Amino acid sequence: MNKFFKRLFIGFLAIIVLALAWSLFVTFRISSDFQRTVKNSVKDYETCAAVYGKILESYPEQCITPDGKNFTRDIGNSLDPAISNLITLTFPTPGQIITSPITVEGRARGYWYFEASFPVKLTDEYGNLLAISPAQAQDEWMTENFVPFKVTLTFDKGTATKGYLILEKDNPSGDPAKDQSLKIPVKFQ
């Protein structure tokens, strides 16, 4: 009888070892497939930051994946010296979550205005217009200096989760060569 129990014990032990080996193989395989799927799904800054959480202290912020891919947070053209020397926003900031109504504030050089205003548009990420209204100068606008502006936009975001705030230099001439705009990304709550 001892021989029987000894063989039975060795058989059970062999089954347990094989089950454990199979379990580790399957777990490793699923884990590898999952990691490969996650790695391939990272295509922008937001996804990289959510998956890896490794953000470089820079402006704009950057996220680097373990395999060396670099993604930079979209802040529109707000750092372009040709634009930032003409118009700046104090609210909202690039990538900020906004709700309706929103009051947009900043300052622009006097020649950005025409008759003390310039157009401000809000679009979804595909360019569909959600709102448009003129920003009004809050001080004397016939100057080359910065002049504060303000505009309140009321909008229905529909199903959109992201969009762009576009502040256009007023161009009554209609000459495309004189067109300029500040475009920043925003998120909808």
pLDDT confidence of residue 33: 47
For residues 175 and 183, the answer to whether their CB atoms sit within 8 Å is: no
Q: Is the pLDDT of residue 32 over 80?
A: no
Which sign, positive or negative, has the C-alpha torsion 44, 119, 180, 145?
negative
Percent of the chain whose pLDDT exceeds 70: 89
Among residues 63, 92, 52, the alpha carbon closest in space to that of 76 is found at 92
| β 146-153/129-137 pair status | antiparallel
Q: How far is CA 71 from CA 47, 48, 182, in A?
A: 9, 7, 22
Question: In which band, very low, low, confident or very high, does the pLDDT at 27 lie, cut at 50, 70 and 90?
Answer: low
Question: In which band, very low, low, confident or very high, does the pLDDT at 157 lie, cut at 50, 70 and 90?
Answer: very high
pLDDT tens for each residue of 92-114 = 989 899 999 999 999 999 999 99
Question: In which band, very low, low, confident or very high, does the pLDDT at 8 lie, cut at 50, 70 and 90?
Answer: confident
81-188 classified as CATH 2.60.40.2550:
no
Q: Is the pLDDT of residue 12 over 70?
A: yes
pTM as predicted? 0.71
pLDDT confidence of residue 25: 64
Mean pLDDT of 18-30: 66
What average pLDDT does the structure give for the chain?
85
Q: Is the pLDDT of residue 36 over 60?
A: no
Among residues 103, 175, 105, 104, the alpha carbon closest in space to that of 147 is found at 105
